[in-house]
A and B are shown apart, each in its own frame.
Chain A
Amino acid sequence: MRFLPYLLAGLAFGFVLVKSEAASWYRIMEMFHFQSFHMFGIMATAIATGLAGIRLLKRRDRLHTLEGEVIAIPEKPPGHLNYVLGGIIFGLGWGVIGLCPGPIFALVGMGSIGALAALAGALHGTWLYGYLKNRLPH
Chain B
Amino acid sequence: MLDWLYAPWPWYVTGPLIGLMVPLMLWIGNRSFGISSNLRHMCAMAQPKGIGVDFFQYNWREHNWSLVFALGTVLGGLLAGVVFANPDPVDLSVAALTMFSNWNVPIAGGFLPPVLFDLTWLSVFVMFTGGVLVGFGTRYASGCTSGHAITGLSTLQRQSLLAVLGIFAGGLFSAHFITPHLFSLFW
Most chain B Cβ neighbours within 10 Å, of A16, A90, A121: A90
Task: Select from chain B the residue with minimum beta-carbon distance to A24.
Answer: B111
Q: How many residues of B contact A (CB 8 A)?
A: 121
> Contacts A20-B9, A97-B126 hold; do A90 and B141 have CB atoms under 8 A apart?
yes
Instruction: Summarize A's interface: helix, strand, loop or mixed.
Output: helix
Give the complex CA separation of A130 and B92 in angstroms: 38
Q: Which A residues are in CB contact (< 8 Å) with B159?
A: 76-80, 83
Asked if B134 and A101 make an inter-chain contact with CB atoms under 8 angstroms apart, the answer reads yes
Q: How large is the interface on A (under 10, 10 to 19, 20 to 34, 35 or more residues)?
A: 35 or more
> Contacts A42-B15, A56-B23, A83-B162 hold; do A121 and B74 have CB atoms under 8 A apart?
no
Chain B interface (Cβ < 8 Å from any Cβ of A): 8-9, 11-12, 14-32, 35-36, 38-40, 42-43, 53-56, 64-66, 68-82, 90, 92-93, 95-96, 99-100, 107, 110-113, 116-119, 123-124, 126-146, 148-157, 159-160, 162-176, 178-179, 182
Q: CB within 8 Å of B: which of A5-64? A: 5-30, 32-33, 35-39, 41-54, 56-57, 63
Instruction: Summarize B's interface: helix, strand, loop or mixed.
Output: helix
Give the complex CA separation of A56 and B24 in angstroms: 12
Give the complex CA separation of A16 and B139 in angstroms: 24
Task: Select from chain A the residue with minimum beta-carbon distance to B14.
Answer: A20
> Contacts A48-B19, A113-B124, A118-B134 hold; do A3 and B80 have CB atoms under 8 A apart?
no
Min CB gap B135→A, angstroms: 3
Most chain A Cβ neighbours within 10 Å, of B11, B168, B169: B11
A–B pairs, 27, beta carbons within 8 Å: A5-B29, A10-B68, A10-B69, A11-B76, A13-B72, A16-B9, A23-B77, A28-B175, A39-B11, A46-B15, A50-B21, A53-B22, A54-B154, A76-B143, A76-B148, A79-B159, A83-B141, A84-B163, A90-B137, A93-B132, A104-B134, A113-B117, A113-B124, A121-B127, A121-B130, A125-B135, A130-B139
